Amino acid sequence: MSNIAGKAYAMNVVTPIRWYMVWINRLIFKIALSRPSTLKGLITLSLIHYARWVIIPKDGFPHLHPSQPKENLHYSYMLFFSNFNGSWDQYVDSFTFAIPSGLDLFWKWNIRYPKSVPLTPFHDYIKYNQIYTAHYYSAYPMAASNDVKSAKIVKKVLIDFKSASIEKNPDEFLIDYNNLLNELQLEFGEMRPTPIVSLSADAVKQRYLQSQSHHYI
């Protein structure tokens, strides 16, 4: 069980939705995709790598072997999965403040959805329906989304600096180089787990252990 990979956290939430209301959610998703401005608050959150909602029909779960029994489900399900940087609480709260009406619209038809505000019932709802990640791979675990954006800026600036420095003498180069470092100092991140993610990892472990203890009681 590992929801943490370096600076990143993987969230998977599966919530039941009445099958006869699925078409409404599909229509809402389609409108949101065609009008990105409806998700502007979400798009501007720099801690998010990505976020996606998917509808799984009640007869749409995969069967990997003929011996696997067929489910007799009363509901379809909505899968929300996302990767982000920071703690669980920080992410969920940021989501709530960024697009509260959007969350209520997306999850409105889901069973026992309490609305995104107040925060405590919404936190409880997400925790109850979250599926903890058994394996989480990240090619660049120590790079947050902002680190990637900064790296692109640094790369472009260095390429331009190299081209502009070919004909300069050592003294001119040193002056320009020091100016370059001053210009880019806010773009240099630390390639190690941040304290807030470490705290998040501990919190995930505690929630998982608590869920297991409740399971065996």
Identify whether residues 96 and 163 lie together within a single domain. no
Identify whether residues 154 and 196 lie together within a single domain. no
Identify whether residues 126 and 78 lie together within a single domain. yes
**pLDDT given at position 203:** 59
Contacts of 208 by beta carbon, 8 Å cutoff, 6+ apart: 1, 132
Identify whether residues 58 and 157 lie together within a single domain. no
pLDDT in tens, 8-31: 888 899 999 988 888 888 888 888
pLDDT in tens, 106-148: 888 899 999 888 888 888 898 889 988 878 887 878 887 788 8
Global pTM reads 0.72
Identify whether residues 165 and 131 lie together within a single domain. no
Is residue 208's pLDDT more than 70?
no
Percent of the chain with pLDDT over 90: 13
User: Residue 209: exposed, middle, or buried by beta-carbon count in 10 A (0-12, 13-18, 19+)?
Assistant: exposed
Identify whether residues 183 and 196 lie together within a single domain. no
116 phi, psi to nearest 5 deg: -80, -20
Identify whether residues 55 and 75 lie together within a single domain. yes
Domain that holds residue 201: 4-139+192-216
Identify whether residues 126 and 200 lie together within a single domain. yes
Q: What is the DSSP string of 4-72?
A: EETTEEEEEEEEEE-GGGHHHHHHHHHHHHH-GGGGHHHHT-TTEEEEEEEEE-TT-S---STTSPPP-
Torsion of CA 97, 10, 123, 58, to 10 degrees: 110
Identify whether residues 74 and 11 lie together within a single domain. yes
Identify whether residues 33 and 81 lie together within a single domain. yes
Identify whether residues 117 and 24 lie together within a single domain. yes
pLDDT in tens, 41-55: 666 677 788 888 899
**pLDDT given at position 17:** 92
Structural domains in the chain (count): 2
88, 204 Cβ separation under 8 angstroms: yes
Looking at every residue in the chain, the average pLDDT score rounds to 81
**pLDDT given at position 16:** 93
Identify whether residues 172 and 125 lie together within a single domain. no
39, 78 Cβ separation under 8 angstroms: no
114 phi, psi to nearest 5 deg: -95, 0
